[in-house]
Chain A
């Protein structure tokens, strides 16, 4: 695998050139592959380019964005970058940061290559090479944990939608506006009670860190939520055949299946359940399950499958507006992580407005004092953002979602419900 250092793409969005053809200033050391991937992402974002910083009334404010746009997580990372650019365009088109004389946001994107080592060096390079006011990233918890360590040391505030509870421990510059992993487990268990009065849940999970930690969260909270776990089965990811595993689920007599899986395994599992003729409510959790690509792969079989998300595009009028714009640019609906990331950018803009300074420490303090309940910054389940001392949004909770007609509909909890839960 290619592991060379990659240079950041600096993209500057403004009113005048946002619709113009792209003329990115790409750094010199670019491989062709990287070039293709980056230009792909940029085109998907609606093609806008960088121009020399001349003629602006106010100095632009630099916002760092750390996402994996190459490697195994590239698919989601590229969507995130498209959303990050959309958010910056929206803020700049609306007049930028008023308290800073209409300063525009300048998004500096860095590719963390789905790799923890690269994430460390890239975060370091992004912070030392640019005067940043804030950072958002990195989608995958494993990467965000590392990026946030680096950002903490450099005292640059970092916002993230990553769900690991670890991100709220001993950190002063890390802020999480959305639901935590422990809340996801609880929501998933409660959703199983919507399907059956006496849920008998089979939990199958891939046996590395991601699957193990998520499934342990489910097991710990099951009893308190009145859910019986009848099968708790680790498996090795990347299997060739899901039939033996589904055989076990069948023999366990479960009426609900929680699958903590990567996309490829999940596709096999869903197909095999259908072949076996097993009538069982499947909850695929979060991550790769709530992106458009999942439905593209399983098609009609995806109908009725449940999941949990920290953001969904049908939450309120604002999310629907952003979703429509994103759809226009990329052709896909705005998925969980990318949608949350638009809200994060507006939280940063709100903080900049109040701090009236691009200084990262002042921005950090302003973010910590955030208390919004309207506008794009409050675009999250519950519609309110206020950070506790651990950087956690005290109002945050996940939404339960269900695939209905090729789209994700919010079905749980009651106050966030936009469509009735289909019992399959």
Chain B
């Protein structure tokens, strides 16, 4: 019995690491720029296709292609902020919602046109390998993805807490107006925030590639979980999103094991509803950190 539970927890934590990369991006953008990026999943998809093509054309390992996908997505993030989001920032939320939603649909359909709806997978030597510990097993590709995801989250935390730019971002997240008065250039901070958030999405894409298929709709699968994690972990709270993502992964996995294989999302959303009912600001506490 305990093996079953332990295995379910391991499975949940591993996939939770990927959810974390997506949700940290969403929460970072929300915290700093105060917009909800509906297109985050599509940037994961772009990251996956970058890794897929680097692997199929040049034989580059998806994990190595991280050093391509992250900078490319960072630049896309800066461009999106500078040329699109900057123009709709204002008191009215509606144009922002429509902008990121339109961006999501645009990218999705572009991918359909360019790459077709086919599933693309990459084979690596470690794709199908697993470490066996007694009755338990840990898939190698997922373990690597989890470790890299945690390392990137840690690096982001260090960046936010030790560098001037990181502190400026947190300042802008806490109070944009006061931060602007203190001499922080909001557009520069926003550009970096978008860049980092999209780079994380790109990393998620590359890390997924050894064990998941790329297809135009793939982002939708992950962005749904990311939104739940962001709300659960308090909007704008990076650590909250990370913890909530891991919790959701575990809840989903335990749900599939003990309730039924079509209950994964039910458990996750029940968790969300309960949290909102009893702690409306989310598990991360009342304020963004």
Contact = CB atoms under 8 A, between A and B. Distances in A.
Given A275-B128, A276-B137, A277-B130, A297 B213 contact: yes
A2 interface: yes
Contacts of A268: 211-213
A64 B257 CA distance: 48
A275 B261 contact: no
Contact of B261 (A72, A74, A238, A244): A244
A15 interface: no
A29 interface: no
Contacts of B128: 271, 274-275, 301
Determine chain A's interface SS by DSSP, over half rule.
helix
A244 B8 contact: yes
Interface stretch (A228-236, A311-319, A356-364): A228-236
Interface string B251-272: 0111011001110110000000
Given A274-B128, A275-B137, A75 B261 contact: no
Contacts of A251: 4
- Residue with the greatest number of chain A CB neighbours at <10 A, chosen from B117, B119, B137, B215: B119
Interface residues of A, number: 40
Contacts of A298: 121
B7 A267 contact: no
A240 B18 contact: yes
A299 B56 CA distance: 14
Nearest to A204: B261
B118 interface: yes
Given A240-B222, A244-B256, A235 B262 contact: yes
A241 B253 contact: yes
Interface string A246-262: 01100100000000000
Contacts of B252: 241, 244
A9 to B, nearest CB: 18
Interface in B128-146: 128-130, 132, 137, 139
A241 B254 CA distance: 12
Contacts of A207: 262
- Residue with the greatest number of chain B CB neighbours at <10 A, chosen from A72, A233, A244, A277: A244
| Chain B interface size, under 10 / 10 to 19 / 20 to 34 / 35 or more | 35 or more
Interface string A1-17: 11000000000000000
Contacts of B14: 241
B261 A245 contact: yes
A239 B266 CA distance: 13
Interface string B203-226: 000000001110100000110010
A28 interface: no
Contacts of B253: 241, 243-244
A269 B97 CA distance: 36
A275 B130 contact: yes
A245 to B, nearest CB: 5
Nearest to A246: B11
A297 B121 contact: yes
16 contacts: A1-B109, A37-B116, A74-B116, A74-B117, A204-B261, A233-B260, A236-B262, A236-B264, A243-B11, A243-B139, A244-B252, A245-B261, A251-B4, A275-B130, A276-B130, A297-B213
Interface of A: 1-2, 33, 36-37, 71-72, 74-75, 204, 207, 233-236, 238-241, 243-245, 247-248, 251, 263-264, 267-268, 271-272, 274-277, 293, 297-299, 301
Given A236-B264, A293-B118, 15 more contacts: A1-B109, A74-B117, A75-B118, A207-B262, A233-B260, A235-B261, A240-B15, A240-B18, A243-B11, A243-B139, A243-B253, A264-B215, A267-B121, A268-B213, A275-B130
